[in-house]
């Protein structure tokens, strides 16, 4: 994806690169949203799990 953006800029300096930028920003937003959702779920479930301690 970023390679298309760089190629468009280098070969065609006057070309519209908005679709590539929008796609890149959407993927970044989705990735951040998933990361925060995973963090929230892990934090929510942290107190439920008890560590297993095996005494030898």
pLDDT per residue as tens digits for the range 25-42: 999 999 999 999 999 988
Instruction: Please report whether residue 26 resides in a domain.
Output: yes
Read off the pLDDT band of 48 (50, 70, 90).
low
Read off the pLDDT band of 47 (50, 70, 90).
low
**Domains identified in the chain, total number:** 1
Distance CA(42)–CA(1), nearest Å, equals 31
Question: In this structure, what token pair is assigned to residue 48?
Answer: 């439920």
Instruction: Please report whether residue 24 resides in a domain.
Output: yes
Whether 2 contacts 24, CB under 8 Å? yes
Whether 4 contacts 20, CB under 8 Å? yes
The domain of 9 spans 2-46
Q: What is the mean pLDDT of the chain?
A: 81
Distance CA(7)–CA(37), nearest Å, equals 34
pLDDT at residue 56 tops 90:
no
Read off the pTM: 0.58
Instruction: Please report whether residue 40 resides in a domain.
Output: yes
């Amino acid at each position: 994806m970023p390679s298309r953006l760089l190629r468009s800029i280098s070969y065609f300096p006057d070309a519209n690169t908005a679709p590539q930028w929008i796609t890149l920003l959407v993927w970044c937003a989705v990735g951040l949203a998933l990361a925060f959702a995973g963090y929230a779920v892990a934090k929510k479930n942290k107190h439920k799990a008890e560590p297993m301690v095996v005494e030898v």
